[in-house]
Amino acid sequence: MIATALFRVEELPTDGAATVRVSLMGPSLCAGFPSPADDFVENALELPRWLVPNPPATFLWRIAGDSMRDAGIFDGDLACVDRSLKPSHGSVVVAAVDGEMSIKRMVVEGNRAHLSFDNAELPIYALEELAEVNVWGVVRFTIRWHVSRVGQGR
């Protein structure tokens, strides 16, 4: 089990200098069936240090698709992915499936783990038996805009 620190609003650090830069990876992370994409650092955002306990192992990915909507992760969101966290049953993970990055739910049954969508309207996510799967990191949280973003068609 992964231990996380929970804070009440009055306990949150107020020191504006306590921020870290987190790399924004591009292109978007596929929230659906994996599609070919080269990963690279696109930009960076500054986030409060208390949100990012391990900055060197933390990256942001923009989400494309709706396969994780039942987990509250939607097209256009930013997923904060921590490579230092150990994935477990129920974790939302970023995985390289045959070299293509994708976001899925990890399901552990007995001593076997598999990946699944979190959208009841989609078919079961089936991997080829010989597919190469590497869990790249665990989604710590997501960021969603609730207002229109000018210039991005939203």
Active site residue ranges: 67, 104
Chain-centroid distance, C-alpha 3: 18
Does the N-terminal peptide bond of residue 27 adopt cis geometry, omega within 30 degrees of 0? yes
Residue with tokens 């989400």: 63
**Strand 100-109 vs strand 58-64: parallel, antiparallel, or unpaired?**
unpaired
Residues for the chain: how many in total?
154
